[in-house]
Structure 1
Amino acid sequence: MMYNFRPEIKIENASKACYGYSEINAELKSRIGALQSNVITIECYPTLNEEELLNKLITPLNPTLIINALELFYDVKTINKMIERNITDDRIFGLMSHHSFEDFIDRQQKQALDQKIKQVHTIGGRVVIYGVGASLVYPADLLIYADLTRWEVQTRYRSGTYSNWQADNAGEDSLRMIKRGYFFEWRVADKLKKEIFSKIDYFLDTHIEGEPKLIDGKSYQAAMGQIAKQPFSLVPFFDPGIWGGHWMQEKFNFRKDEINLAWSFNGVPEENSLILNFDEIKMEVPANNLVFSQPLALLGERVYGRFGAEFPIRFNFLDTIGGSNLSLQVHPKTDYVQDVFGANYTQDESYYILEAADQAKIYLGVKNGVSKAQLMTELTKAANGEGSFPDKELIYQQEVKKHDHYSIPGGTIHSSGANAVVLEISSTPNRFTFKLWDWDRVDLDGLPRPVHLIHGEQNIDITRDEDWVKRELVNPFEVINKGPGWQEERTGLHELEFIETRRHTFSVPVIHESHGSVNVFNLVEGEEAIVESVDDSFAPFVVHYAQTFIIPEQIKTYKISPYGTSIGKTIMTIKAFVR
């Protein structure tokens, strides 16, 4: 089957991008000469290869003075002390940081650097400042932003070669490195990026080492504006896991040499990327940059007013076909995630069953009559190695079939069993999973999978038993509109959750409304569909089976039809938006 692993967006009316250090250096030298720039600043997202920048980009510019932004900040030990409350001793969880990079500036160092730069100015010399926080050292005459997606950052953590910012921890447990990124590093880096976004003269893509691409800021900003007016897909990434299956490997004919593929994150702008095609030079950029630069057009006024410049919906796949059960887990309730972790809202979710083999099941809530004391006693015994957890006695289990849909509000015990493919539709926070039991496994790294019974006990809602689950969470399908050749159903999520989902089953064109929110879709049945404008405001957009795609709220009305090999057949989409 067709599946687009590298969807790209053709950018219209843009300046020509530069490819390779030779072209980039020529462009920058021309710009520097024309503007008589004395201070060239290269702001970097954490975990960028700064040594490559120094050797291949900065040194050829022949500056009089080169400053690494690390010189601006306190030493590693001092910074670690300042953020220890955010980082905590826990392997997985921290406390959301509200710091800015300015909090870590050594004022004496700042004065010394100012003096150095002024001395170079007196002789008409050139200064290049680079690194994380470089834009805070001294006002820039030319500002370049060298960027990375969060998924690439996590890949670099795993390599053992890169450290967190100001941490000197290359080779550390990658889960601890990701925790530091999620709760601290990415927060302050994104805050600075948003502050300087409109001032950036050039954007630099260094995802592929040795193959940089550069585009001017005006063209980049125009590209963001263009994307916010059309349907688009993010670049998916895939990852193996201890419970992972083989459906994606087989269905997509992809990475079959790996042990399995457990995850596909295909609708998560915080971590996914966009590929921008500037006249065949293809730049990979964090999708979050679109959220930062076009929040109103993308999200809509109501959603932006509620969440700020944050994309609140996420889509991903969980594949256990030929694999095993996910951990038994629970997500926090809203007040807990706010009070304990400093997050704005919790990780509510749902499982839409994209595929299911015989006897595939979901674990959802507890059996009738189970008390929290009884549950926690058995979970604690299992965590202490005193026998396996009696899941059949205590947890409600139900066989699932293709196209079922289950809501999972925070506080509900749940797990996807083996031999299913789940389209997980959830709110964006993705670090707040409290594992309660993991079927006595160790992870792919050989370390025990961590459980979080202290957090879990305080969030399990024991009233969500079999009767409540069947009544409230299982297949809440309601036909709300229909016509010749099409039907629209409300499929959830539960009233405790802010996401609404609609399933359309159709063999003819269907008109959609935005509902005042960004819309996120997946083609859950059928080979191809086409998204078309009702007023010719964007080009037709073709999607394939299992592809996630996003419709900005700025597009108030649009049409989706069967396409290509699906013409004359009945197909299905699932659609999510903020109520």
Structure 2
Amino acid sequence: MPVYESIKNADNKIKISEKNRASAIFGWDKVISALADKVAGGAKNIAIDGWYGIDYKRIAEALKVALSAKGIEAKLLPAEALYLSREEIVAYNQPYVTDDPGFGKVNTKGVIEDVMSEEKIAEYKVVLSAEGAVIIYGVGAAVRAFEDSLSVKCYVDNTHQKVQWDMWEGRLATFGQSEPTKNYNWKEYHYSDYYMLARQKDYMYGAMDYYIENYFEDDLVLVPRAAYDEIMSTLVKYPIHEVKIFSPGPWGAYRYEQMDYGVEGLANNAWNKIAGPELRILIDFGGERSISMPMLNAMQYGEELVGALINKQYPGLFPLDIWLDDGWHPTKQPAERISMPMHIHPSSKYVQDNFNEPLGRYETYYIAEAYEGANTWMGFKDDADIEEWERLCEQSQNITPIENWKDFIANWNSKEGDLYLIPPGTMHGHGGNQMVLEMDTNLSINGTEYSFFEYDFARPSWDDNKKTMTGKPLKMHLEHGRNMEKTRRESWVKDNLLSTPLVFKWTPEYFLDRYKSYSVMPYHVERMHFERRGEYSTEGKFMHMF
């Protein structure tokens, strides 16, 4: 799925101490020079560790050249040589990749050392203990086994979207590979590699001497550990903006063209994610430019960010997603063009049992704008034969159309301000001709999507290279969908899931209202109405997403 970004209004401006602000170094040559000075000053061994998608060899070779100019001949040790063979790593990952075509199981305990050779680690420790400077570089260069052998530990970060692009384009080199990994299964990253990388990063938060930003391939920013710690501990005391992402798709629409997002190359907009764990953030701490990093770095301060209760119950999880689902079209279009797929989301028990994920998907649709024909699909019709629906979906496999699909799914006219509650197991889909503010629980630490598609109208999907609807039809997840179907019907939906607001605080300057909820929903949706000012509080314990 292609992704486009908008950095408009995305800067997080914070204030830190002058000492730490001034300690950050900007620019490729200046950063390399500073690291070379560190080695020349007596720091014999330096590790350049980090996330996937970084050109570690280029950084290490530049540092070697800078040291040579100072009369120091450093030895280069590529961390890729520490790993088991690609075949052994594939075998290690198989229990997490699984045979499920759409999903895997989270590697809940694994660390990078699991896929390294103990013999190679021992060999490198001998080299690190010998005379002369050594630069060990690459993913896993500063694993715990080398803790006592390293003088300086650096961590070079990367963002989720850049790694995704590299993976989709076949450019990503994974554990133990010096060239792009062939036949890399995306589930290896989402269900195993990601978590091993994350645990190494968690270790490096406490072990690193420097954090390095390398968002632009020809630029580096070196942030000493003390400055990094102050940046992050300060950031979580502020409201945090994220860099919005946009994705085209088969139901994509065009309201975004009138909204001045500054997104180049986006030909239609199916999803616009404005908050979630996999987005990046821009931090302006008064340096030469803002630095980019993954939003999840802020989860180092989980209690401060999401509150003590959530952090204790779901450690490491950023628990909410916010989307703006476009739905405006300049001309009237059929439902099969403008509707989302008919789909279902899983419960907490289902994702725990099947995917090792901590939290189910509990969703709401708030109608931010309603146009002519605004509508939402939700629940089965009271007289629908659900077994027949399942049979038709199985027969179709989203390749042949189900001509009478509307006979099964209930449709609701929408108006601005409506709120649809969508607990797990509820058949639903955005019906188009409306702008939906979608507020959901996020069930995956790395933002993996869990929507069980049952029918997408057998339509072609979006081909972003051709900018046309000529891609292959989307794949369905019928077994998971059937497993989660709660057979919720139209009359039950009307009584339980079409929510209305009640005022719970009123003042002459502003008032707050809260939508009625359904028992299993783990969050509330509230609105603040004001002209000039309003007041709201987390009370030191609630997580708020605006």
The alignment's TM-score, normalised by the length of structure 1, stands at 0.83
Q: Are 2:98 and 1:88 aligned?
A: yes
- Partner of residue 9 from structure 1, selected from 10, 13, 17: 13
Secondary structure (helix, strand or coil) at the match of 1:218 reads helix
The answer (yes or no) to whether the contact 1:15–1:215 under 8 Å persists in 2 is no
Matched, 1:405 2:426: no
Aligned to 1:513: 537
Question: Any conservation in 2 of the 1:237–1:272 contact (CA below 8 Å)?
Answer: no
Q: Judging changes above 3 Å, is the alpha-carbon distance between structure 1 residues 389 and 223 closer, same or farther for their aligned structure 2 residues?
A: farther
Query: Residues 4 and 64 (structure 1 numbering): CA distance in 2 closer, same or farther, change over 3 Å?
Result: closer
One-letter code aligned to 1:41: A
Q: Which amino acid aligns with 1:27?
A: A
The alignment covers a number of residue pairs equal to: 512
The 5 A counterparts of 1:537-576 are none
Distance 1:190 1:454, change over 3 A: same
- Is 1:440 the counterpart of 2:465? The answer is no
Deviation per CA, 1:508-559, whole angstroms, max 9, x where unpaired? 532212145443343xxxxxxxxxxxxxxxxxxxxxxxxxxxxxxxxxxxxx
Distance 1:246 1:58, change over 3 A: farther
Number of the residue aligned with 2:56: 50
Alignment match, 1:158: 168
Structure 1 position 60 matched with structure 2 position 84? no
Residues 131-160 of structure 1 show CA distances to partners (whole Å, capped at 9, x for unaligned) of 111112522211111001112211222333
Structure 2: how far apart are the matches of 1:383 and 1:25? 55
Corresponding residue for 1:263?
271
Correspondence for 2:519: 495
Equivalent of residue 388 in structure 1, options 387, 390, 402: 402
1:213-224 counterparts in 2 under 5 A?
213-224=221-232
Question: Which residue in the other structure is 1:459 paired with?
Answer: 484
Give distance in 1, aligned partners of 2:529 and 2:29.
53
The Cα of 1:439 is off from its aligned counterpart by: 1.3
Residue 182 of structure 1 aligns to a residue in which SS?
helix
SS of corresponding position for 2:366? strand
* Higher alpha-carbon deviation: 443-452 or 405-414: 443-452
CA distance in 2, matches of 1:170, 1:328: 36
Deviation at 1:88, TM superposition (A): 2.5
8 Å contact from structure 1 (residues 9, 276) kept in 2: yes
CA distance in 2, matches of 1:171, 1:141: 31
Residue 374 (structure 1) aligned with residue 388 (structure 2): yes
Q: Deviations over 1:386-416 (max 9, x none)?
A: 5425332111111112221111111111100
Shift of 1:348: 1.3
Structure 1 residues 383 and 54 mapped into 2: Cα distance closer, same or farther (>3 Å)?
same
How far the C-alpha of 1:58 sits from its partner, in A, is 4.9
Shift in Å, 1:384: 6.5
Q: For residues 28 and 311 of structure 1, do their structure 2 counterparts lie closer, same or farther at Cα, with a shift above 3 Å needed?
A: same
What CA distance in whole angstroms lies between the structure 2 residues aligned with 1:489 and 1:167? 55
Amino acid at match of 2:427: I
Shift of 1:167: 7.1
How far did 1:60 drift? Answer: 3.1
The change in CA–CA distance for 1:471 and 1:171 in structure 2 (over 3 A counts) is farther
Tell me which residue corresponds to 2:503.
479
CA distance in 1, matches of 2:342, 2:428: 6
2:116 maps to 1:105? yes
Instruction: Measure the CA separation in 2 of the matches of 1:273 and 1:91.
Output: 32
Offset at 1:253? 4.9
Q: Which has the higher strand share?
A: 1
Task: Please report how far the alpha carbon of residue 256 of structure 1 lies from its aligned counterpart in structure 2 after TM superposition.
Answer: 5.9
Q: How many angstroms does 1:217 deviate by?
A: 1.1
- 2-structure distance, mates of 1:10, 1:77: 46
1:252 corresponds to 2:260 = yes
SS of residue matched to 1:444: strand
Aligned twin of 1:76: 86
State the 1:202 CA deviation: 0.9
Q: State the distance in 2 between where 1:301 and 1:54 align.
A: 41
Cα distance in 2, alignment partners of residues 57 and 230 from structure 1: 36
Residue aligning to 2:280: 272
Q: Tell me, yes or no, if the aligned pair for 1:76 and 1:168 is still in contact at 8 Å.
A: no
Aligned with residue 292 of structure 2, among 284, 288, 293:
284
What percent identity do the matched residue pairs reach? 23
Query: How far 1:284 moved relative to its partner?
Result: 0.6
Q: Tell me, which stretches of 5 or more residues in structure 1 are unaligned?
A: 523-579
Alignment-derived partner of residue 114 in structure 1: 125
State the SS of the aligned residue for 2:318: coil
C-alpha change, 1:26 and 1:15, in structure 2 (3 Å) is farther
Provide the rounded CA distance (Å) in 2 between the counterparts of 1:133 and 1:67.
12
**Distance change (3 Å), C-alpha of 1:480 and 1:233:** same
Tell me which amino acid in the other structure corresponds to 2:326: D
Do 2:243 and 2:279's aligned partners in 1 also have CA atoms closer than 8 Å? Answer: no
Q: For 1:65 and 1:256, locate their aligned partners in 2 and report how far apart those are by CA, in whole Å.
A: 44
Q: CA deviation at 1:503?
A: 1.0
Q: Secondary structure at the match of 2:524?
A: strand
Find 1:325's aligned residue among 335, 339, 342.
339
- Deviation, 1:233, is 1.0
Change (3 A) 1:387 1:311: closer
Q: CA distance change for structure 1 residues 512 and 220 in 2, over 3 Å: closer, same or farther? A: same
**CA 1:206–1:492: 2 relative to 1, 3 Å:** farther
Does the 8 A contact of 1:492 with 1:502 survive in 2?
no
| Cα-Cα RMSD | 2.4
Task: Say yes or no: does 1:450 pair with 2:457.
Answer: no
Query: Which of residues 122, 138, 141 is equivalent to 2:146?
Result: 138
User: What is the rounded CA distance, in whole Å, between the counterparts of 1:274 and 1:184 in structure 2?
Assistant: 27
Q: Deviations over 1:293-317 (max 9, x none)?
A: x112222222212212321112122
TM-score by length of 2: 0.88
